[in-house]
Each structure stands twice: as structure tokens, then as C-alpha cells.
Amino acid sequence: MRPEIRGASLQVRGLSKTFGKQQVLHNLDLEIASGEFVAVVGRSGCGKSTLLRLLAGLEPPTTGGILINGETLRQINHSARVMFQDARLLMWRRVLENVGLGLRHNWQIKAQWALEQVGLADRAQEWPAVLSGGQRQRVALARALVSQPRLLLLDEPLGALDALTRIEMQRLISNIWQEQKFTALLITHDVEEAVALADRVVLIESGKVAMDFEITLSRPRHRGDAACAAIIEHIYERVLNPGATSKRNLLSLNTRSF
Ligand SMILES: Nc1ncnc2c1ncn2[C@@H]1O[C@H](COP(=O)(O)OP(=O)(O)OP(=O)(O)O)[C@@H](O)[C@H]1O
Ligand SMILES: [Mg+2]
């Protein structure tokens, strides 16, 4: 099965979200083109997951709006799937059933295809309990991919994994994204991960987009390469210094030869 997937385009306009007296998102604007991979970084509590929930249609905005392919999002975003830090598998269902959950027609074939995408085709009949943490996250990724979403929303999906497994998963996500061309939004605390994967790194500060950094380096990216390392350092500096304006020529960071 070879999916024909085209990514959803996103336009976030003047988005605000208030919980009680706390305003979390302040008139936030963001555009993501079809098939783009955007990483979102920012300090804990700055509103990253809130933004993701709004994009998934799990919660309504207080004011402002979200357009998916030009249409206002009013309820659950059916073109999107979400993957979280914990795999959230049903331990009493086999791996294949976990992946195919909620599907009707040909669910076994579809679930088996998704498991192949993440390299776990041979574990289909096992119980989640016998899998490692990294393997469970791959099952969660398969579950997110099985319905061939046009928008994949990732909320720190690799945050609990060891460094090596994490890099393997980054490569897997990058390869699948390049092949299937869905739109991806990844929330991460790991700037290296953001730079390794994304076309743009967006920093949220005070409920707004405080930096939107385009990365044009070719893939696969290696964090040890000079240009990659320079961008990582630049973004770290900016994340750690709220409100700072960049003194560097951002374009030169991308084009510097290595
Ligand atoms: N349902 C809710 N009810 C009340 N307050 C909420 C709710 N959801 C989020 N908040 C508040 O909104 C703020 C932003 O939360 P959010 O989960 O979006 O942060 P985050 O940037 O994802 O943080 P982290 O990096 O720690 O995951 C926090 O102060 C949080 O307490
Ligand atoms: Mg969060």
C-alpha cells in the first residue's frame, strides 16, 4: 500500500486562549505550509501543548481562529493525529489491534502496513507489555500514521527515550515524513532535535511567536556539522534569553559551508 498523502496547510490567526484568569496564548499568528515540518520550542508552561490541543480541535480558542486548508476549524480536526510523550497503548490488546483501533474496513491490512513503516511488522501479535519504551513509541507512531493523517501533531513524543533510541526515532520520523509528505508540528524541549528535523523552528514566549527560524540545511542533518551546530547554539542562546533580539545574520548560519 503506497499512500498518496498531501499535507494540510495551517493558518493560525490572532489565537488567544485563556484558562480562568490566566491568558496562555496571546493573539498568536502562525502559518504552516502544506507538507512543512515545524518544530515548536519554548519554556515549560509557555503554552506549547495548549496550542497543539487547539490545532487538534480538542479545545476551542477563546478568540481568534485556525484555518485548515483554508477552512475554519470548529470541532475535532479529522485531518490530524496526535502523538504524546507516553505511548498510551491498551495493554490488554495486541500490538496490531492497538494500531488498528477505531478503523473499520481492512483494519488488519492497514495496521500491518503502519507497523511496517515503523519497522515492527514482526511484533504485530505481541502484547505491548513485552515491548521496550522505544518500541512502544514506534507502535504509537504507527497508530498515528495508520489513518494517513494530513497533519501529524507530536507533543514531545521522544522525551522519555534514551539518547540513542531518540536519535533512531528522529531518523525514522524524518524518513516517514519525507516519504509521505504530511504536515508535521513537533513540540520538543530538545533544540538539537528541532534543528535535526524541522524546516522551521518556532519559539513561543509570552503566548506569542517570538522567533521563527527557517532551516534550509539538506537532510539528513548531523548535529556535529559546523552549520548545524551553529544554528543549534544560536537557537539555544535565544531560548535562554527571553526577549533578546538576534545580532547574528541568520542566513549565514544556514549557508555556511562545512
Ligand atoms: N485545561 C487547563 N486548565 C487550566 N490551565 C491550563 C489548562 N491547560 C493548560 N493550562 C495552563 O496553561 C499553561 C500552559 O500549559 P501548556 O501545557 O500549554 O504548557 P507547555 O508549554 O506545553 O509546557 P511543558 O513544556 O511543561 O509541557 C500552564 O500554566 C498550564 O497550567
Ligand atoms: Mg507541554
2 confidence band (pLDDT: 50, 70, 90): very low
Please report, for the domain that includes residue 244, its CATH number. 3.40.50.300
180/242 same-domain check: yes
120/54 same-domain check: no
Domain contains 180: yes
| Ligand 1 pocket residue status of 23, Cβ below 6 Å | no
- Cα 252 to middle of ligand 2, angstroms: 32
86/69 same-domain check: no
Task: Determine which residue's CA is closest to atom 30 belonging to ligand 1.
Answer: 45
186/253 same-domain check: yes
246 confidence band (pLDDT: 50, 70, 90): low
Domain contains 169: no
Domain boundary among 102, 130, 148: 148
189/115 same-domain check: no
- Cα 116 to middle of ligand 1, angstroms: 35
Average pLDDT over residues 71-75: 94
Domain contains 168: no
Q: What is the DSSP string of 103-131?
A: --TTHHHHHHHHHHHTT-GGGTTS-GGGS
CA-based end-to-end distance of the chain: 39
Q: How many domains in the chain?
A: 2
Domain contains 257: yes
pLDDT tens by residue, 104-152: 999 999 999 999 999 999 999 999 999 999 999 999 999 999 999 999 9
Question: Percentage of residues in the chain with pLDDT exceeding 70?
Answer: 93
67/86 same-domain check: no
The phi and psi torsions of 91 (rounded to 5 degrees) equal -70, -20
11/71 same-domain check: yes
51/86 same-domain check: no
In this structure, how many other beta carbons lie within 10 angstroms of the beta carbon of residue 92? 10
Task: Determine which residue's CA is closest to atom 20 belonging to ligand 1.
Answer: 45
Residues with CB under 5 A from ligand 2 (ion): 49
| Ligand 1 pocket residue status of 153, Cβ below 6 Å | no
4 confidence band (pLDDT: 50, 70, 90): low
Domain contains 115: yes
Q: Which atom of ligand 1 lies nearest, measured to the CA of 46?
A: 21
| Ligand 1 pocket residue status of 203, Cβ below 6 Å | no
Task: Determine which residue's CA is closest to atom 25 belonging to ligand 1.
Answer: 44
For a pocket test of ligand 1, which of 15, 50, 205 has the largest count of ligand atoms closer than 8 A to its C-beta? 50
pLDDT of residue 253: 63
Domain contains 163: no
Position 183 pLDDT exceeds 60: yes
Strand partners, 187: 40, 155
219/254 same-domain check: yes
Domain boundary among 148, 166, 191: 148
Task: Determine which residue's CA is closest to atom 4 belonging to ligand 1.
Answer: 19
Position 164 pLDDT exceeds 50: yes
44/99 same-domain check: no
Q: Is 128 helix (H, G, I), strand (E, B) or coil?
A: helix
Stronger pLDDT, 153 or 102, i.e. the higher one: 153
87/69 same-domain check: no
Domain contains 47: yes
Q: Which of 166, 155, 169, 185 is nearest to 85 (CA)?
A: 155
Strand partners, 153: 82, 185
Structural domain that includes position 117: 82-148
| Alpha-carbon span 110 to 67, nearest angstrom | 29
Q: Is the CB of residue 37 less than 8 Å from the CB of residue 182?
A: no
Domain boundary among 148, 167, 185: 148
47/86 same-domain check: no
Domain contains 193: yes
244 confidence band (pLDDT: 50, 70, 90): confident
Stronger pLDDT, 6 or 250, i.e. the higher one: 6
243 confidence band (pLDDT: 50, 70, 90): confident
The residue with cell 523552528 is 201
